[in-house]
Structure 1
């Protein structure tokens, strides 16, 4: 069984962000980097499936500059068999359609049985890449899964929907699933597994070999929201609150209580 896991390296969300000089993305220097949280669930589920079926091979893939190798090495230490870096120092300028196109181009000839991705990335948060990959490969996808099982070539997954509703979805492989918080608890790489990961294959490929499409979207501007004044808390009985509110609105816009 051939399994692919797509991961992204993102800044730690506790980092202090600055908008870059172009005003289109955040400045990458002086940030702490980590594997995207949702992708950790994807790696863990792939490794669990490998342990379940035995005869399985897990490839983990990431697009980005040299630093993404650290996230790939963590995935190898978690139990993936090999890693692939698609080299791109300007991955942040690629829209979800381009990113998905590159991954689909890599995966198409490999004929993976199952592809795991995170539900979304913590920095861009588009939630589009996984389903776009599936569409480009003409395979079914199941999104935002919080439970996963596999037997005799069939996936049974539980999806989390809005309003606390959950649904059960079944499909045959090949397929793609996107992973949500609550699916599992990602394992912590042990020292022996970290040492083993150093001997595993980590292949680097230029993204130019796979990128054949133009972008569909372009980031025009990125900026921090303007700071707003503090709110006003009203206290008292309902009748008094109504009178206070009318008085405030009258002072602000001068059209009420006339």
Structure 2
């Protein structure tokens, strides 16, 4: 069995964000970087499946981005991946989900992967589109937002998180793709011996131009912080007093009442 996990390196959400000078994305200076949290669940589930099946599966980890994404790939290798693929792209942040999925599907198209794991979405862009687009381009089954996963005899059984706490039961035959939601498992911390082993595992580098020719279907046009607005007003006291205060505010500060 051949397994593929797609991961993304994103800014730490505790970082201070501000728009870049070109107004198309955020300023990357002074940001701390980490593996996308949803993708950690994807890596962990793939490693657990690899451990369940013994030595048979080969687990490949793939990421798209500039040179810094190699650190995220090394973490995934230390968690249990066998090999990594770095699609080198210094402008990955300007690619739309269709372009990202196109690169992944063109790489994976002739590799014979039986099962592909991705995070449900990325924490920085949050489109939740790449996984299902890859599945569609490869013409394989897919299930999203998995919070439970079981595999036996070529059949995946899982639970999807739906709205209002409702879960949906799904079954998929291989080949397939699943996107992983928070809570699916508990991602492991790489141990020091595994971190050292990861340094010897192969990382293949492929130029993005070799896999992509299309322009963006939904190009970014502007990226900006929300406008600051005045704070709200809290009225306290008994109901009749608050009504009088509210009417006074509406007359004084708005055109609702005159």
Using the size of structure 2 for normalisation, the TM-score is 0.97
Aligned to 1:85: 86
Where 2:72 maps in the other structure, the secondary structure is: helix
Q: Structure 2: any 5+ residue segments left out of the alignment?
A: none
Q: What aligned pairs does 1:6-85 form with structure 2 within 5 A after superposition?
A: 6-54=6-54, 55-85=56-86
Q: Structure 1: any 5+ residue segments left out of the alignment?
A: none
Aligned to 1:96: 97
Q: Which moved more, 1:222-231 or 1:94-103?
A: 222-231
Aligned to 1:221: 222
Cα distance, 1:180 vs structure 2: 0.7
Cα distance, 1:255 vs structure 2: 4.2
Q: Provide the aligned length of Structure 1 versus Structure 2.
A: 257
CA RMSD of aligned residues (A): 1.1
Q: Which moved more, 1:174-183 or 1:241-250?
A: 241-250
Where 1:109 maps in the other structure, the secondary structure is: coil
Using the size of structure 1 for normalisation, the TM-score is 0.97
1:46-81, Cα deviation, whole Å (9 max, x unpaired): 000000111111000000111100000000000000
Distance, in Å, in 1 between the alignment partners of 2:5 and 2:18 is: 30
Aligned to 2:238: 237
CA gap of 1:34–1:254, structure 2 versus 1, over 3 A, is: closer
Where 1:134 maps in the other structure, the secondary structure is: helix
Where 1:102 maps in the other structure, the secondary structure is: helix
Q: Which moved more, 1:39-48 or 1:222-231?
A: 222-231
Distance, in Å, in 2 between the alignment partners of 1:18 and 1:84 is: 30
Distance, in Å, in 2 between the alignment partners of 1:248 and 1:174 is: 63
